[in-house]
Structure 1
Amino acid sequence: MTALLPVAGAPRLTAAQCELLREITILDEYGERRSIHIPAERPLTVFIDKRELVTLMTLGACPELLVLGYLRNQRLIERVQEVESITVDWDVGAAAVRTHAGVSEIEAKTAQRVVTTGCGQGTVFGDAMTQLDTVRLPSAATARIRQSTLHRMLETMRQQDSIHRKAGSVHGCALFGLQPGGGCEKLYFVEDVGRHNAIDTIAGWMGLHGIGGADKAFYTTGRLTSEMVMKAAQMGVPIVVSRNGVTAMGHELATRLGMTLFGRAANRHFLCYSGFERFDSEPEPQRAPVRVVAQSD
């Protein structure tokens, strides 16, 4: 895809770099010592207008986008233009956010903190259920996905070069554009130690470039819990695909929002948990039953 420019009035962002992998020596079951790579998890403490907000445990691949998406998904900001700048300094492990006019009612917005099931200490400020009325997703008539398109998405992710292949222990998330005629295009991919960090980074990328979610599908290697479903809905994405499973609360939330959830999705296999009306099924041929022939003595 062509390079995208930030939206007018977008915040100034640093481009902080850090090592994503660390080499260590291990002892295996054969008594042999060898070198392997592991993800370089590190803390990033976020300050907003000099007020300490939260410490995120992250791989650090795109820390500025992670912070921007975190602020959006926590509803601390509504538009990225509210932020003047985000400065990340790995020497001190901090991200300094400067806003133009401060965060309105920040005390109230951060008073109710729920520790979620997320890897890397996922947190949700406030009650996600109270935000349902503010979510607007496109109708099933305009936002759909074919089974063949889903297969193409899964094949794209199967071929994706990733840190997980080298070192494991990370989650990956991707945003796909759904095209007329059943095509799809991978728009952005990111990995982090927690699935919440990965989806927040994608939310930050979308906000920075003014990209809407109505004609998009979101892919994650992590399980679809209520907070992951809510974050996808806040991004305006009606179709979510996971290599993992779906929790009961995630399913309930998606059903109420009219979202289509796919889980256990890998290769040509998947389960559609909700939102059947958005899915154009193209069923695979049924496998012939395996006959067991009894052998005589």
Structure 2
Amino acid sequence: MKKFLIQPEPDNPELTISVDGVDHTNSAVNTRVPVERPLTLYLNSQEIVTVMTIGDFPRDLALGFLLNQNMLTKDDTVTGVEHEPDIDVVVVRTERETDYEDKLSKKTRTSGCAQGTAFGDVMEKFETVVLPNTTLKTSWLYALSKNINTTPSLYLEAGA
């Protein structure tokens, strides 16, 4: 099985804080827990969304979010991705001029990442997706699931 292109960094001290607690036997414990922080994403000069994130791979998060929301396309040329950690901002710049004012006014609240926000036409794009005729074995899914679940992560470190 291939290695991940990016993977969690559970030893990065900037992603967790130390907390004291009590376990199921009423014994005192100290553990590290992930801390989420706000990160505001911009596309060119337009603010898109503020997401809550543990803070690792902010550039990848920004690109992935914008692709997922159909604000970046496969034909776009990304000219820069700037992360400003002191103000919790990522700016993605493209050759194409962008304006998503109308799209941003049509928010769908969901559960999950990005404070549960999907924008405008994201659901409409699903109808245009054509999947390749590919074999997918359940044994591959089990192996992939095991690989993901046993990869060191912040959540495993915190006792998940």
Scaled to the shorter chain, the TM-score interval is 0.7 to 0.9
The superposition leaves residues 18-50 of structure 1 with CA deviations (integer Å, 9 ceiling, x where unpaired) of: 812211222456664432110021110112223
Find the partner of 2:152 among 150, 153, 161. 161
Q: Contact 1:48 / 1:98 at 8 angstroms: preserved in 2?
A: yes
1:125 pairs with 2:149: no
For structure 1, the residue ranges without an aligned partner over 5 or more in a row are 5-16, 170-297
The structure-2 alpha-carbon separation of the partners of 1:28 and 1:120, relative to structure 1 and needing over 3 Å to count, comes to: farther
2:111 maps to amino acid: T
Residues 145-167 of structure 1: CA distance to partner in whole angstroms, max 9, x if unpaired?
Answer: 22332332233234322222111
Q: Which segment drifts farther, 52-61 or 160-169?
A: 160-169
Q: Does 1:78 align with 2:78?
A: no
1:138 to 126, 132, 138: 132
Structure 2 CA distance for aligned equivalents of residues 49 and 100 of structure 1? 9
C-alpha displacement of 1:168: 5.3
1:67 maps to 2:58:
no
What TM-score results when the alignment is normalised by the length of structure 1?
0.45
Cα deviation for residue 118 of structure 1 reads 1.6
CA distance in 2, matches of 1:115, 1:150: 30
Contact 2:81-2:91 at 8 Å conserved across structures = yes
Closer, same or farther in 2 for the Cα pair 1:77/1:38, shift >3 Å?
same
Q: Kindly report the root-mean-square deviation, in angstroms, between the aligned alpha carbons of the 2 structures.
A: 2.8
Distance 1:146 1:21, change over 3 A: same
Q: Which amino acid aligns with 1:112?
A: K
Q: Judging changes above 3 Å, is the alpha-carbon distance between structure 1 residues 81 and 121 closer, same or farther for their aligned structure 2 residues? A: same
2:46 paired residue number:
51
Letter in 2 for 1:130: E
Q: Structure 1 residues 138 and 59, CA, compared in 2 at 3 Å: closer, same or farther? A: same
Q: Residue 40 of structure 1 aligns with which residue? A: 35
The one-letter code matched in structure 2 to 1:147 is T
> For 1:95 and 1:119, how far apart are their aligned partners in 2?
16
Please give the secondary structure, in 1, of the residue aligned with 2:124: helix
- Residues 47, 53 of structure 1: 8 Å contact kept: yes
* CA drift at 1:63: 0.8
Structure of greater Rg? 1
| TM-score relative to the length of structure 2 | 0.79
Q: How many pairs does the alignment contain?
A: 153
| Distance in 1 of aligned mates of 2:84 and 2:93 | 14
Counterpart mapping for 1:1-297 below 5 A? 19-28=14-23, 32-79=27-74, 81-103=76-98, 105-139=99-133, 143-167=134-158
